[in-house]
Amino acid sequence: MKTKLAFLISKALNESLSVEEIESLLEIPKYAHLGDISFPCFTLAKKLKKSPQLIAKEIAEKIQGDFIQEVRAEQAYVNVFFHQLQVANNVIEKVLLEKHHFGTKEKNGQKVVLDFSSPNIAKPFSMGHLRSTVIGNALANISEKLGYEAIRINHLGDWGTQFGKLIVAYQLWGNLQAIEQNPIEELLKIYVKFHEEAEKEESLNDKAREAFKALEDGNEEAHALWKWFRDASLKEFEDIYQMLGVSFNSYHGEAFYNDKMGSVVEELINKGLLEESDGAMVVQLEEMPPCLMMKKDGATLYATRDLAAAMYRYNLYEPAKIFYVVGHEQSLHFKQLFAVLKKMGYQWSENLMHVPFGMMLKDGKKMSTRKGKVVLLADVLAETMQAARKNIEEKNPQLKNKEKVANEVGIGAVIFNDLKNERMNDIEFSIEKMVTFEGETGPYVQYTNARIQTLLNKGKFSFTESHLNYLDGEAWEVIKLIETFPHVIETAFVQANPSTIAKFSLQLARSFNKYYANTKFLTNDELQRERLKVAYAVSILLQESLRLLGIKAPKEM
């Protein structure tokens, strides 16, 4: 409706403002008696050299459409009332015919590459890794909804100085039997111990640098240890990914690009971009620090590998866009990376986008693996699933598939708790908030959908095409929300922000529950059928919203 209305207003203004500009100005009035949508005219006063009140009056006299019931000029606002029954019929029929495809675009033949999750090998999968994983997975789902082929890449942190530290730590304190029995936990112990000891004995850091250089140079013992650490970690990561319902097209981590960096460095030299600075090799950049490509000892860095990775991915996939879902503390790194690619003459560098996000905090501080201050994601998921199990036993002990539903609700609670937040906000870790199944939570949205499923079963509802002849007042508020769903998905993609969809699902669930609380649905008459059609449409969109976020929607709870 917004786009249609924006087109009419643009026409009334002789296209002095574009449809897009008008759409961005449209507002939802705070009170229903002020209309369904409102257009403020303040910004036009200077441009049109008229008072905003006069502009509002002139626009109100010119716009008309079959979906518009009334237009009022009130002060500096154009307040528009839609033809409720007509709009409701159009929206509901479309949703019920298209079902989960509502808002879906046809395949466009283009690819989107998403670099996300990317945990470090030989370290546990902590709550700190959750954000990149669930934001990236949701963006991949949203991309597919909008017609793209999503290429999911797990750029594993399987290279770098930390492996030198781990190799030295293993050689000094490693217990083969203990590590084989519980690899990640034992490797974390010796990694933390390395940092504790290195604070007392600086020479350990030198040994770690030497060990990593040996690994880079192909030392057999170092490589065997590295491979062992990597394989053990991947097995544990895969268990977590299965629980979260996340999969990848590629697990090519940093190590994969070792043999591809030489040609990148050579290209930088040939293009006259690489220069020496205090013994290291850098690319000079405008308005930001130089990008370091090689250390004094010849060891490569993140930037070298990320350059090689970007070029490899572009040549392999030719994507329309590459998303890097990495914490905001890496913002400078990605600005430098994109700037270097641009200096190299690659215009496609403009299609690369860093998707930063805030930190997961514990007691107001960033979680740190090296200091041992870490909360394991597996432990959190186990606790939320147990809380869901307890909730089911108390409220619905006869429920079928209790274990499956408890897992879906518990895991959904963790994912939703992350994705409902604005991407750039830090999140304070709190098990209590995650296991609260009321308020702004995933279980609240899941429960609303399950409640509607029960309602549809009791009302023996089956969809047949027929027009609505009646619409309740609260139903109109629900319809207006449903109508915005395709726009919500587009916004989530453009802003790379899945919280838009999470917030929509909460708003829709709240709006429906208000309608449900004030209306009797099972009346065994024509009104029952009309109300259940609206309920069915809500259920479809709640399920689809949860699916896009990577969350299951059990039919019973």
Q: What is the DSSP string of 502-549?
A: HHHHHHHHHHHHHHHHT-----SSHHHHHHHHHHHHHHHHHHHHHHHH
Instruction: From 296, 253, 263, 41, select the one nearest 157 (Cα to Cα).
Output: 253
In the numeric block, the tokens 């600005």 are attached to 335
Share of the chain above pLDDT 90, in %: 79
Per DSSP, helices labelled H in 292-359 are 302-317, 331-343
Average pLDDT over residues 323-352: 97
Report pLDDT digits (tens) over 189-245. Answer: 999 899 999 999 999 999 999 999 899 889 999 999 999 999 888 988 999 999 999
- Domain of 391 in residue numbering reads as 377-549
In a domain, residue 372? The reply is no
* pLDDT value of position 438: 79
Among the three residues 82, 103, 118, which one is the final residue of a domain in this structure?
Answer: 82
Among the three residues 34, 60, 82, which one is the final residue of a domain in this structure?
Answer: 82
In the numeric block, the tokens 């083969």 are attached to 176
Rounded-to-integer distance, Cα 336 and Cα 421, Å: 28
CATH, residue 538: 1.10.730.10
In a domain, residue 506? The reply is yes
CATH, residue 56: 3.30.1360.70
Instruction: From 491, 325, 504, 501, select the one nearest 424 (Cα to Cα).
Output: 325
* pLDDT value of position 360: 84
For residue 408, give both structure tokens.
């879906």
Identify whether the C-beta of residue 415 lies closer than 8 Å to the C-beta of residue 549.
yes
Instruction: From 541, 480, 555, 483, select the one nearest 145 (Cα to Cα).
Output: 541
In a domain, residue 545? The reply is yes
Average pLDDT over residues 101-130: 93
Report pLDDT digits (tens) over 10-31. Answer: 999 999 899 999 999 999 999 8
DSSP SS3 for 12: helix
Look up residue 503 and give its amino acid.
K
Report pLDDT digits (tens) over 415-435. Answer: 999 999 999 998 887 777 776
Average pLDDT over residues 348-377: 80
* pLDDT value of position 59: 96
Share of the chain above pLDDT 70, in %: 98
Identify whether the C-beta of residue 384 lies closer than 8 Å to the C-beta of residue 411.
yes
Does the pLDDT of residue 500 top 90, yes or no?
A: yes
**Do the strands 365-366 and 111-115 form a parallel or antiparallel pair, or are they unpaired?**
unpaired
Rounded-to-integer distance, Cα 557 and Cα 443, Å: 9
Task: Tell me how far apart the 2 most distant CA atoms of the chain are, in Å.
Answer: 84
Sheet with 274-277: strands ordered across: 274-277, 280-283, 291-294
In a domain, residue 540? The reply is yes
Identify whether the C-beta of residue 6 lies closer than 8 Å to the C-beta of residue 23.
yes
* pLDDT value of position 354: 98
Instruction: From 288, 93, 300, select the one nearest 215 (Cα to Cα).
Output: 300
Identify whether the C-beta of residue 457 lies closer than 8 Å to the C-beta of residue 501.
no
* CA distances from residue 422 to 25, 495, 499, 534, 543 in whole angstroms, order as listed: 22, 11, 6, 29, 21
More confident residue, 273 or 526: 273
Report pLDDT digits (tens) over 476-495. Answer: 999 999 999 999 999 999 99
* CA distances from residue 334 to 200, 307, 496 in whole angstroms, order as listed: 34, 10, 16
In a domain, residue 73? The reply is yes
Look up residue 510 and give its amino acid.
R
In a domain, residue 94? The reply is no
Average pLDDT over residues 345-374: 81
* pLDDT value of position 324: 98
Look up residue 179 and give its amino acid.
I
Q: What is the mean pLDDT of the chain?
A: 93
* pLDDT value of position 296: 80
Average pLDDT over residues 49-54: 95
Bridge partner list, 300:
294
Rounded-to-integer distance, Cα 195 and Cα 149, Å: 43
For residue 511, give both structure tokens.
């709006």
More confident residue, 282 or 181: 282
Rounded-to-integer distance, Cα 367 and Cα 522, Å: 51
Does the pLDDT of residue 103 top 60, yes or no?
A: yes
Does the pLDDT of residue 410 top 90, yes or no?
A: yes
Sorting pLDDT into bands at 50, 70 and 90, what band is 373? low
> What phi, psi does 467 have (nearest 5°)?
-75, 150
Rounded-to-integer distance, Cα 230 and Cα 190, Å: 16
Report pLDDT digits (tens) over 272-303. Answer: 999 999 889 999 999 999 999 988 876 667 89
Half-sphere exposure of 283 (CA within 13 A, CB side): 28
Among the three residues 28, 51, 82, which one is the final residue of a domain in this structure?
Answer: 82
State the burial class of residue 149 (Cβ atoms within 10 Å of its Cβ: 0-12, 13-18, 19+): middle
Instruction: From 427, 441, 440, select the one nearest 388 (Cα to Cα).
Output: 441
Identify whether the C-beta of residue 138 lies closer than 8 Å to the C-beta of residue 498.
yes
The number of angstroms, rounded, from the C-alpha of 331 to the middle of its chain's C-alpha atoms is 17
Which residues fall within 8 angstroms of residue 180, CB to CB, at 6 or more apart? none
Average pLDDT over residues 258-279: 93
In a domain, residue 72? The reply is yes
Does the pLDDT of residue 372 top 70, yes or no?
A: no
In a domain, residue 173? The reply is no
* pLDDT value of position 147: 98
| Range scoring the smallest mean pLDDT among 144-153, 363-372, 451-460 | 363-372
For residue 104, count other CB atoms closer than 10 A to its CB.
16
Instruction: From 93, 143, 62, select the one nearest 494 (Cα to Cα).
Output: 143
Average pLDDT over residues 540-553: 98
Average pLDDT over residues 499-521: 97
Sorting pLDDT into bands at 50, 70 and 90, what band is 180? confident
For residue 19, give both structure tokens.
């449809």
* pLDDT value of position 356: 97
Question: Considering its fold, how many domains does the chain have in total?
Answer: 2
Report pLDDT digits (tens) over 430-485. Answer: 777 776 777 899 999 999 999 999 999 999 998 877 788 899 989 999 999 999 99
Identify whether the C-beta of residue 36 lies closer than 8 Å to the C-beta of residue 13.
no
More confident residue, 185 or 108: 108
